[in-house]
Structure 1
Amino acid sequence: MKHYLLIILAVFPFLSQAQKATTQLPHPVSVQLQAGTQGIGADVRYGVYPNLSARLGGSFVPINTGSSLSISGFNTDYSADVKIFNVHLLADYVPFKNIKNLRVVGGAAYLYKANGGLVLSPTGSYTFGNYNLTGPEIGKLDMDVSWKGVAPYLGVGLFKSFPSNLFNFNLDLGTYYLTAPSTRITGTNLLVDNNQLEPQFNDNLKGYRWLPVLQLNFNFKIR
């Protein structure tokens, strides 16, 4: 029994130090609201280690615009619609102990909707041979692009991940690498045969796979 007491007395200081270290390394949690090139959204951020945190969240970009344009005497109205919705899981790593305001950020997003559409509607009237046709009689042309799928992310973060007190802000600068786009062209009336342009349309857009991110985050510490 005496030997057990001696062992306990010898180990107790180390147990105390381990307990003290554990209590000195809490896992902070914050809620982050964000706005930038990937739209608006929110994250929940969890501190895994003092130099590593993880965040899970989502964002969306809804853009809808339209106007009129004229190309070589051909007048048309157009409407453009872009919708990008994603859920993402990212990790923030602080590589330098003396530079707390610089983070390396990596992870991925799943774009469950990433569509861009352009609809051209001719206006005015045009003469083709002996025929005089109005814009609605010529038809409409609808061009769609989709980048739906998993997109890896790499970038840097500026300023601290977690507030020292209640609130701070930080920045993200990086890019997603999107899946190869799929395209579709549909037309009506005289424009119905333009679906033959799909292979060329797809080839023209195959290089557009980078989605830059410049994002401002408003971070509220909850633990």
Structure 2
Amino acid sequence: MYRKFVFLIPLLILLGAGHVAAQINNSGDLILHQQSVKLNLGSQGIGAEYAYGIDKKVALRLGINVIPVSVNDAFDIADFNSTSKVSAKFTNIHLLADYTPFKSAPAFRLVGGAAYFVRGRGSMQVQPKDNYTYGDIVLTPDQVGYLNLDVDWKGIAPYAGIGLFKVMPKRHFNVNVDLGTYYLKEPDVKIVGTGILKGNNTQEGQLKDNVKDYRWLPVFQLNFSYKL
């Protein structure tokens, strides 16, 4: 009769292990294979992430963020009645690792990783509204033309920062914070002009020299998490 019930032993072991795992999970620590999804909102726009707990100290996050900002008439040019448009369009796909170094401070995390900026473009366009008079010469808006300046940071960018509050929710929901920065690639620039502004493309080298050090993209982000 004993032999008839031997096959139940592995099943009982598995059930017992599952019960223990459930008890550990309820303690709120970062557990092996714990998972969550996140909605992000902050300086790098809006986005979403999937988080996966490797062990009690390390979790990985895979996500995407988008910045779709465009502002009309952001500035004025003296003695030149014009319209202007400034836009920032960034889209990145990132992989980050969260490391909780101190057991006594589980709300503090070190964060590192990288992102690929599928799009990382800032642009400015200026176009006249009225005729432009220079001495006895009167030029129409089409004759004056428009001027467009583009700065492009598309490419791979490493990330370093810290995190506040647990990366995984203790129950179902939580909110945590990321503070850090991306180090973008040196930007490419392009100047396009029409009409009498056409010759400004010769200033691309000067513009590139002026913006070559604008490579730090600061991150302040709120993460709204839901545990799977």
Aligned residue among 28, 34, 43 for 2:34: 28
Aligned residue among 119, 136, 152 for 1:113: 119
Q: Deviations over 1:35-79 (max 9, x none)?
A: 000010110000001011001010100011111743331222101
Residue of structure 2 equivalent to 1:8: none
**Deviation of 1:134 (Å):** 2.5
Residue of structure 2 equivalent to 1:139: 145
TM-score, normalisation: structure 1? 0.87
1:187 matched to 2:189? The reply is no
Alignment-mate amino acid for residue 131 of structure 1 = I
- For the aligned residue pairs, the C-alpha RMSD in angstroms reads 1.9
Residue of structure 2 equivalent to 1:81: 87
Tell me if the contact between 1:69 and 1:76 (Cα under 8 Å) persists in the aligned partners. Answer: no
Distance (Å, rounded) in 1 between the aligned partners of 2:76 and 2:184: 32
Tell me if the contact between 2:35 and 2:227 (Cα under 8 Å) persists in the aligned partners. Answer: yes
Tell me if the contact between 2:165 and 2:175 (Cα under 8 Å) persists in the aligned partners. Answer: yes
Alignment of 1:162-177 (within 5 A): 162-177=168-183
Residue of structure 2 equivalent to 1:11: none
Residue of structure 1 equivalent to 2:77: 71
Gaps of 5+ in 2: 1-12, 25-30
Aligned CA distance change for structure 1 residues 179 and 162 (closer, same or farther; 3 Å) = same
Residue of structure 1 equivalent to 2:9: none
Aligned CA distance change for structure 1 residues 73 and 170 (closer, same or farther; 3 Å) = same
Residue of structure 1 equivalent to 2:217: 211
Alignment-mate amino acid for residue 138 of structure 2 = N
Alignment-mate amino acid for residue 99 of structure 1 = A
1:58 matched to 2:64? The reply is yes
Distance (Å, rounded) in 1 between the aligned partners of 2:160 and 2:175: 20
Alignment-mate amino acid for residue 124 of structure 1 = D
* Higher strand content, 1 or 2: 1
Aligned residue among 152, 157, 160 for 1:151: 157
Q: Deviations over 1:100-144 (max 9, x none)?
A: 000000000000111111110022222224321122320000100
1:94 matched to 2:134? The reply is no
Deviates more, 1:115-124 or 1:190-199: 115-124
**Deviation of 1:189 (Å):** 0.8
Tell me if the contact between 1:30 and 1:162 (Cα under 8 Å) persists in the aligned partners. Answer: yes
Question: Percent identity, aligned pairs only?
Answer: 45
Distance (Å, rounded) in 2 between the aligned partners of 1:26 and 1:89: 19
Tell me if the contact between 1:123 and 1:136 (Cα under 8 Å) persists in the aligned partners. Answer: no
Aligned CA distance change for structure 1 residues 67 and 220 (closer, same or farther; 3 Å) = same
SS, match of residue 163 in structure 1: coil
Gaps of 5+ in 1: 1-14
Residue of structure 2 equivalent to 1:9: none
